[in-house]
Structure formats: structure tokens, C-alpha cells
Amino acid sequence: MQSNRRTFIKSLSAASALVATEGIAKPFGAPAYIPNLMKISPNDKIRFATIGMGIQGNFDTQSALRNPDVELVGCADLYSGRLEHAKSAYGKDKDLFTTRDYREILARPDVDAVLVVTPDHWHDHITIAALKAGKNVYCEKPMVQHLNEGKAVIDAWKKSGKTMQVGSQRISSAAFKEAKRLIEAGDIGQINYIESNNDRFNAIGAWNYSIPTDASTQTVDWDRFLGDAPKRPFDEKRFFRWRNYKDYGTGVAGDLFIHLITGVHFVTNTLGPTRIFSSGNLAYWKDGRDVPDLMACIMDYPKTDQHEAFQMVLRVNFANAGKINDVTRIIGNEGQIEFSENNLIMTKKKLPVAPGYGGYDSFFTFTEPVQQEFVKKYDAQYPADTRTSEPVKEVRFEAPKNDDPSAQHFADFFDNVRKGSQGTLEDPVFGFRAAAPVLACNESYFEQKVVHWDPITMTQTNATAPTSTKKKKLASTKAITNKA
Ligand SMILES: NC(=O)c1ccc[n+]([C@@H]2O[C@H](COP(=O)([O-])OP(=O)(O)OC[C@H]3O[C@@H](n4cnc5c(N)ncnc54)[C@H](O)[C@@H]3O)[C@@H](O)[C@H]2O)c1
């Protein structure tokens, strides 16, 4: 560790200790912000901790560690088995700090950044607390669980001066960067329609993840998991398959639509839709879940100085026993871009100016003299050079073999942390503008209405009185006692 880093840690530790004391005494009070745009020297390691060590927590940790000069120093999770697993997976050559209480992570002066990889209902609470404690934050998608939670995160980020990245990593892929370049260059003309579907037909794909055999109230901190969700007795399914319940997750929209919308916002420079409508059904997985397994939505994106108006139609079907042929297409008036895994195919097709006549057309229904007159006029109006279209052209883009969007997304985060910059690819303003339409899909589905959204001010223009999807006050959880 370099000396400038030691000095930093020394000066920060006093402040962090204060936050820690306040935070622990008043778990969800408002500890003072530590405004700090500290730059970390290129030679210093960025020390991070992962909060939420489940499936994605492990993937994110590994992706982060594929970057140079970063180090995992701690983990928080609510299931002891995952903390033990983390110790064996990442702590072989060191004493990895583990805890059930994320506030212990935030209180540590040696943590520069945290990865928030918990279920969706914890994202805003932990992110805001981390920013207030002076940590840089990488928060998984969707940034928040409900429409009315985004602004508080944005405010906390602005006030903190810290770096934040939201985790829809596909926009760091070579294919999305290429799509952005092609669209900005006008290669497919003006976008008018975007469609994507993401179908599945298997239990794990439908979120019925394996439940460990030792799941119990001894191994799981159930009360803390509930957080601001309604109180209920321990239920291992709700804990390990939380996506199936709207109290903790965001359904197919928050899990899957979000990636596509993030990609579309990135490649089109749009701010978001103004009208969102979704409909759905629980068609197959009638296993106690309270979110649909089939959902389709339509979103209207208005004209801006970056693009013409376009429509987006998305669908997920977890009960697709037919042929699964997932596709994402961005359609313009001069071609389309279709994504295939990490690659893309652009097809260019430009109509000739002349409309043509004959064939399946009304021309043959005219009288002979009218047909002759029509042809005369047509020939005068459309000279030969207006009658041929450019040949259809297909351009394939193959991502480099070593393209690693997840590690790249972390690279952008860490680069900005080092510079003390807030200029990440997916900052919370971008993150919330992408999350809001998917959260609106849920509101549209559960409340059976069209959601009207102002993407500039990021406010719902037809919000109703508080409903079950609105935020409840976070109940305080028990004091720190549960160290794994
Ligand atoms: N970017 C992506 O491609 C991608 C992919 C999958 C999941 N995700 C996101 O990652 C997040 C986690 O999803 P997952 O599939 O890993 O879920 P998971 O259930 O496998 O893991 C979540 C973990 O969080 C822990 N946890 C819950 N509340 C906590 C709290 N208050 N403090 C500390 N730990 C807590 C749980 O014990 C659990 O181990 C979700 O927000 C999800 O949307 C993103």
C-alpha cells in the first residue's frame, strides 16, 4: 500500500468511525455525508466488499477481480452458508471479513467500494447508506424496486460526490458499442420500432433456484431479509426464490426487460418513454408466486433531438413449450440491427424513391386509356435512377473472442473511482431512466392502467394514491450480533 493511501485511510477512519457509531446506534437514521472525491493513485489497490453473495454476487465479485489492482476485503450475506462459501472461494490466502450485517462493511475504513448484489427491495437502502458512508457503489440492476425510490438514490449520489455504476453490464459489450456507433452514424436510418422477446421453459429459468438443505432461521437472518417488506414467518422459498414475489423482486420486467431497455437507451441516446402499458398472466408456474410468468409491454418513446418517435414491444414467456427463438431487433427506416448473443447483424435496405405499379395493385382495375395516361405521368415523375433500390446489404459484427462485458463494466467503474469522477457509463441518472419503464410495467400490470411518465423530470405524471407497490417505511432490524 502506498503512503498516500495510508494517509487517506488514517484521515477517513476517524470519519468512518463516527458514521459507524451513528449508523449502528441509529441503524436507519441519517448519518452525516462524508463528501470526498478522493482519487486513488494508479498504484493503489481499490478495496471492495460485496453485499449479497448469492448467484450474481459471486459472478460480480469474479468479474470485478478480473481487473488489475483491486482486492476483495469483505462480504455480507444473510445466509451463513454463503459466507462460508465466500471464505473458501475468495479467502484462501487471507482472512476475508464476513458478516450478516452490511453496516459492518460500511463502517470499515479499508473499504473503498461496495457491490450491492442483494434482492431488489434492498438496493436503495444499502446504496444510500453506502454513499452516505463515503463508499463508491456498484449497484445491480434494477437500480430501485419502485418508481418512487429513484430520486432519493440520485440525490444521495450527487450529494456524496462518490462514483456509482448500475449493473446492466451488456452495454459494456463490443456488440452494443458497435450498435451505438452504427445508429449514431445513421446506418439504419430513423428508428421506428424495437422488439425483443426472452422466452424460457425450465424451472431454473423460471427462478426456482435450488434451496440449500440447511435453510432455517438459524442459518438465515430472515428478519433482516424482510427489511421494509411485510412481516411474515420464515419461508425458505421466499428467501431463496425471492424473484417470485413482488415484495422483494421486480418480476420479469425488472429481471429481463431492464437489460434490453438499458441497451436501447445506450444505443439511441434516448431519455425514455412517455407511455407504458403492460399485460400478463400467470400461465404455468402456479407454485405460489405472485408475479406473472408471461408479460408483454408496449412503450411509446417520443421524438427528441436525438431520435424520431419509436415504439418498443417486449415480451417474456416462461411457459413457452414451443420453439424458443429469442430475438432483439432495432428497426429503422433504412435497415435493422438484430442481436445474436454477443454479436450483431445489420441488414440495410433502402426503398427506391419510385413506388412502382402493377402486380398486386389497383393499376389493372383502371380502364385502358387511364392506364396509358398513368404510365405517361409515372415515367415523367420517376426517371430511371429513382426506380432501383440499393441492394440489400448484410453486415455482421463479431465481438472479439476476449470480449468480457462484465469485467469491462467494472473497469469503467474502477477507472472512475480512481479518478474521483462520477462519469460512469451507467450512472444513477441513466440507471433510473432505464429502471423506471420496467417498474412502470409492473405498475401497469398490477394496477391495470397505462402509466404516463416524464422521462426528463423522471416523474410519473399519473401517479395514484399509495398502493401495495409503493414504498413502506423501513422497519429497523436487529442490532449487530450475527457474525458468521
Ligand atoms: N446484471 C445481471 O446480469 C444480473 C444477473 C442476475 C442477477 N442480477 C441482480 O443481482 C441481484 C441479486 O440476484 P441473485 O440472483 O444473485 O440473487 P440471490 O438470491 O442468488 O442472492 C442474493 C443474496 O443477497 C443476500 N441478501 C439479501 N438481503 C441482504 C441484505 N440486506 N444484506 C446482505 N445480503 C443480503 C441473500 O442472502 C442472498 O444470498 C438482483 O438485484 C438481481 O436483479 C443481475
- Identify residue 297 by its one-letter amino acid code: C
Contact, 386 vs 352, CB < 8 A?
A: yes
Please give the class, per CATH, of domain 3-171+408-430: alpha beta
Residue nearest to atom 27 of ligand 1 (CA): 118
DSSP reduced 3-state for 122? helix
Ligand 1 centroid to residue 118 C-alpha, Å: 4
Q: Whole-angstrom Cα distance, residue 249 to residue 240?
A: 12
Contact, 104 vs 409, CB < 8 A?
A: no
The DSSP H or E segment spanning 140 is strand 136-140
Q: Whole-angstrom Cα distance, residue 438 to residue 154?
A: 18
Beta strands in 349-410 (DSSP E): 393-397
Residue nearest to atom 18 of ligand 1 (CA): 54
Reply yes or no on whether the pLDDT at 271 is more than 60: yes
Ligand 1 centroid to residue 83 C-alpha, Å: 14
Q: Quick one: which atom of ligand 1 is closest to the CA of 220?
A: 37
Give the pLDDT confidence of 442-454 residue by residue, as tens digits. 999 999 999 999 9
**Mutation test of ligand 1: which of 117, 137, 439 has the most ligand atoms closer than 8 Å to its C-beta?**
117
Residue where the block lists cell 421466499 = 238
Other CB atoms within 10 A of residue 9 CB? 15
Ligand 1 centroid to residue 305 C-alpha, Å: 37
Residues in the chain: 484
**Mutation test of ligand 1: which of 50, 80, 127, 140 has the most ligand atoms closer than 8 Å to its C-beta?**
140
Q: Where are the domains of the chain?
A: 3-171+408-430
Question: Percent helix, strand, coil in the chain (nearest 5)?
Answer: 35, 20, 45
Residue nearest to atom 33 of ligand 1 (CA): 77
Residue 152 grid coordinates: 432519493
Q: Quick one: which atom of ligand 1 is closest to the CA of 224?
A: 31
* CA proximity to 56, closest of 132, 130, 139, 117: 117
Return the percentage of the chain with pLDDT > 90, whole number: 83
Ligand 1 centroid to residue 406 C-alpha, Å: 16
Residue nearest to atom 38 of ligand 1 (CA): 54
Give the pLDDT confidence of 198-238 residue by residue, as tens digits. 999 999 999 999 999 999 999 999 999 999 999 999 999 99
Q: Whole-angstrom Cα distance, residue 415 to residue 67?
A: 10
Q: Whole-angstrom Cα distance, residue 390 to residue 401?
A: 33
Residue 74 β-bridge partners: 49, 97
What is the rounded average pLDDT of the residues 50-72? Answer: 98
Residue nearest to atom 7 of ligand 1 (CA): 56
Q: Quick one: which atom of ligand 1 is closest to the CA of 227?
A: 31
Confidence of residue 467 (pLDDT cuts 50, 70, 90): very low
Q: Whole-angstrom Cα distance, residue 216 to residue 299?
A: 42
Q: Phi first, then psi: what are they for 194, rounded to 5°?
A: -135, 135
Ligand 1 centroid to residue 52 C-alpha, Å: 5
* CA proximity to 95, closest of 73, 64, 68, 69: 73
Q: Whole-angstrom Cα distance, residue 71 to residue 69?
A: 7
Residue nearest to atom 25 of ligand 1 (CA): 52
Ligand 1 centroid to residue 56 C-alpha, Å: 6
Residues lining ligand 1, Cβ inside 6 A: 51-57, 76-79, 82, 102, 117-120, 122, 140-141, 167-169, 224-225, 242, 255
Average pLDDT, the chain: 89
Give the pLDDT confidence of 278-299 residue by residue, as tens digits. 999 999 999 999 999 999 999 9
Residue 324 grid coordinates: 424458443
Ligand 1 centroid to residue 234 C-alpha, Å: 18
Ligand 1 centroid to residue 353 C-alpha, Å: 53
Beta strands in 380-441 (DSSP E): 393-397
Instruction: Tell whether the torsion through CA atoms of 220, 102, 113 and 68 is positive or negative.
Output: negative
Q: What is the pLDDT of residue 33?
A: 58
The top-scoring range by mean pLDDT among 20-29, 186-195, 333-342 is 186-195
Confidence of residue 340 (pLDDT cuts 50, 70, 90): confident
Beta strands in 68-112 (DSSP E): 70-76, 97-99
Give the pLDDT confidence of 128-182 residue by residue, as tens digits. 999 999 999 999 999 999 999 999 999 999 999 999 999 999 999 999 999 999 9
**Mutation test of ligand 1: which of 85, 102, 118, 170 has the most ligand atoms closer than 8 Å to its C-beta?**
118
Ligand 1 centroid to residue 38 C-alpha, Å: 29
Residue nearest to atom 8 of ligand 1 (CA): 56
